[in-house]
Structure 1
Amino acid sequence: MTTDLPDASDRALYREIVSRGGRMMWHEAMAQAPEATRRLLDFGLLVHHAVDESLTAVSPRTAVGRLGARMRAEGAGLLLRAEETPAALEPLSQAYESAFGRVDRSSLVRHVQDMEQIRHGILQAESEAREEILAAQPGGARPHQFLQQSLELTRNHLAAGIALRTLYQPGALADPPTTAYAADVTDLGERVRVLDEPFTRLLIFDRRTAIIPAAADNTSAAFIEDPTVVASLVTLFERDWARAAIVDWHALAGRPRGTGVPPELTDLLAAGLTQKAIASRLNLSERTVAAHLARLREHHGAETLFQLGWLMREGAR
């Protein structure tokens, strides 16, 4: 069953059949417009009579009624399947959790020593993230061979509505590819700061899973899902984030210093409109507005939307 409305070719064929008294031979219609014929039959606007291989036009009002009934019946079936699916997939869920050690989420620290398995575990945690990814990346320049891939991952995460914050150390400021990358991801909506203090490599996904090195040479990692431990690591990250410096990555990359945010958006924010109201007023998605607001927050050093709005209002005076 199709749920697409008839297109121009479908409508033309239907009108022609109606103009002929509502009847056309099957072979003639198939020779003239085979795809339109099939779609009209699927939609219920034509009926095929196998006895004499003819087609009869059906009133659109009747067809819509029948289609609606079929859609409602299929919808009920889909709802039933949605209810039954978790139970049907439970054996597979158990196999997954058994393989990856995720049976008890209340207290779990899993050590991984194989580098390939570590990378796989990180990608797996990234794919399961839905709200936020926090990253502390010590050292200087980021590995250049991975920057383009990381940029695409960042684009996908932000497009999915996942908030991203990353900490670098000052060595990143002296590496042109890293500063260009930071400027690019800042344009997309990620927030990147620099902390001039020693800190440990850390990844936190949705404040539920944390990954830290389990050896000084980073050859092993601990995947942590214990809520208390993860909460403590989030607190450490937030403490470091608050002390970290906001960087004008665009200036370092030799680019204009503008925020890239439409001026009409800043005007609406200064007027006190909410994110949802701004999106409606500018005919933008809330996700797009959220990305613009993240850039503004980073540019002005504002931690909350309220603080950002206050700064916008002060600047407008």
Structure 2
Amino acid sequence: MSPRLPNEADRALYREVLSQGGRVMFREAMQQDPDATLRLIELGLLVHHVVDESLTAVSPRTAAGRLGARMRAEGAGLLLRAEEAPALLESFSQAYEAALGRVERSSVVRHVHDMTQIRHGILQIEAETHEEILAAQPGGARPQQFLKQSLELTRGHLAAGIALRTLYEPAALTDLPTASYAADVTDLGERIRVLDEPFTRLLVFDRKVAVLPASADNASAAFVEDPAVVAVLVERFERDWSRAAVVDWHAAAGRPRPTGVPAALTGLLAAGLTQKAIASRLGLSERTVAAHIARLREHHEAETLFQLGWLMRGGDR
């Protein structure tokens, strides 16, 4: 069933949220107008964050695109309404850009010194991301109070076709909740590697916006939109990613998953034998050995046979 288009009460509540900087507490909005609050969440104009029970205003242009996609999925009979969605939300777009848009993008680098506002800014950017999120997360254990929400956010991002790649430090391997979380999200499709070198916290969204610390204690952040600077940060991430190790997060979490490959074959591969030599030693066809090696390469995210042999010899530890 299509969501009902916004009425004047919805518009009034949305403008009120914008007047508060684009973020209000969920309970406050519900007290003011519960019907309008729930309708704006349904339309995608407000995002409800369960960790701190807050609401964040989303760009109406982004919401309009998603609303249009939902309408298209309901069939050809709603196609006309889907095409009208941007126009129907134009008044929201004007209010959003007047209240927040020009302020937030008045500079290619914006410094934020409040942790709540930093999270709010990141959540707003995430809501408008369509293709890729790159993350460098130094330190060991991830904050457990955020892991459940992070898992659901990751599930939503991947379902929307957003590619996710994350760098951790080796200490993350020794924290069971973090390793279990990493195993869960890699099952969903996120790629997480471990870099045994110092690196800086970094988030990059669609290679257009980067967020990085602006102080040693991470209490302030810089939101960077300058294309040249973002390109340099992406290049640095890719350099670190290429040096980082692929790890078996299931094994780190105490739940190793079988590869379906005979242990003898794995041992011979680790010893450096060629595909032909392994087939001869085990009395298998080269085609069968090739299929087993393909499964191992997928399991270990190895791009070449040389890299796979290196990983088999413990190169990822």
TM class by shorter-chain length?
Answer: 0.5 to 0.7
Instruction: Report the Cα distance in structure 2 between the residues aligned to 1:74 and 1:223, rounded to whole angstroms.
Output: 39
Q: Percent identity, aligned pairs only? A: 64
C-alpha distance in 2, partners of 1:250/1:74?
45
Q: Is the 8 A contact 1:133 1:205 kept in 2?
A: yes
Give, as a single letter, the amino acid of the residue that structure 1 aligns with 2:241: W
1:1-317 matches, within 5 Å, as 76=80, 78=81, 81-82=84-85, 84-85=87-88, 88-98=91-101, 100-103=103-106, 108-258=108-258, 297=298, 299-302=300-303
The one-letter code of the counterpart of 2:98 is: A
Counterpart CA distance in 2 for 1:297 and 1:96 is 48
Q: How far is the alpha carbon of 1:142 from its aligned partner? A: 1.0
Corresponding residue for residue 42 of structure 2 = none
* Compared CA separation, residues 252 and 99, structure 1 to 2 (3 A): same
- 1:239 aligns to what SS in structure 2? helix
Contact kept, 8 Å, 1:101 with 1:110, in 2: the verdict is yes
The answer to whether the Cα contact below 8 Å between 1:158 and 1:164 also exists between their aligned partners in 2 is: yes
- Deviation for aligned residue 1:177: 1.2
Structure 2, unaligned runs of 5 or more: 3-74, 261-293, 309-317
Question: Aligned partners of 2:231, 2:192: CA distance in 1, in Å?
Answer: 21
Q: Could you say what secondary structure the match of 1:215 adopts? A: coil
- Aligned-residue offset at 1:88: 4.3
One-letter amino acid of the counterpart of residue 300, structure 1: E
TM-score, structure 1 as length reference: 0.56
Contact 2:133 2:206 in 1 (8 A): yes
Aligned to 2:228, what secondary structure does the other structure show? helix
Query: 1:101–1:173: structure 2 CA closer, same or farther, 3 Å change rule?
Result: same
Compared CA separation, residues 112 and 85, structure 1 to 2 (3 A): same
Q: 1:142 to 1:155 in 2, by over 3 A?
A: same
Deviation digits for residues 282-305 of structure 1 (CA, Å, limit 9, x no counterpart)? xxxxxxxxxxx9x97562323xxx
Q: In structure 2, what is the Cα distance between the partners aligned to 1:247 and 1:149?
A: 23
Q: Residues 297 and 214 (structure 1 numbering): CA distance in 2 closer, same or farther, change over 3 Å?
A: farther
Corresponding residue SS for 2:166: strand
CA shift digits 1:8-55 (9 cap, x unpaired):
xxxxxxxxxxxxxxxxxxxxxxxxxxxxxxxxxxxxxxxxxxxxxxxx
1:102 deviates by 2.1
How far did residue 153 of structure 1 move?
1.2
| Secondary structure in 2 matching 1:236 | helix
Distance 2:120 2:166 in 1: 21
1:163–1:220 Cα change, 3 Å: same
Change in CA separation of 1:89 and 1:296 when aligned onto 2, cut-off 3 Å: farther
TM-score by length of 2: 0.56
Q: Distance in 2 between matches of 1:190 and 1:134?
A: 10
CA distance in 1: counterparts of 2:79 and 2:145, whole angstroms: 48
Cα 1:164–1:96, aligned 2, differ >3 Å: closer, same or farther? farther
**1:299 is matched by which residue type in structure 2?**
H
Contact 2:115 2:220 in 1 (8 A): yes
Partners of 1:259 and 1:236 in 2: CA distance: 33
Q: Provide the alpha-carbon RMSD of the alignment.
A: 3.1
Query: What one-letter code is carried by the residue in structure 1 that aligns with 2:246?
Result: I
Evaluate the alpha carbon distance shift between residue 172 and residue 85 of structure 1 in structure 2; reply closer, same or farther with a 3 A threshold.
same
Conserved? CA contact 2:259–2:299, under 8 Å: no
Q: Which has the larger radius of gyration?
A: 1
Shift of 1:93: 3.8
Residue aligned with 1:147, SS? helix
Instruction: Kindly state the Cα deviation for residue 89 of structure 1 after the two structures are TM-superposed.
Output: 4.4
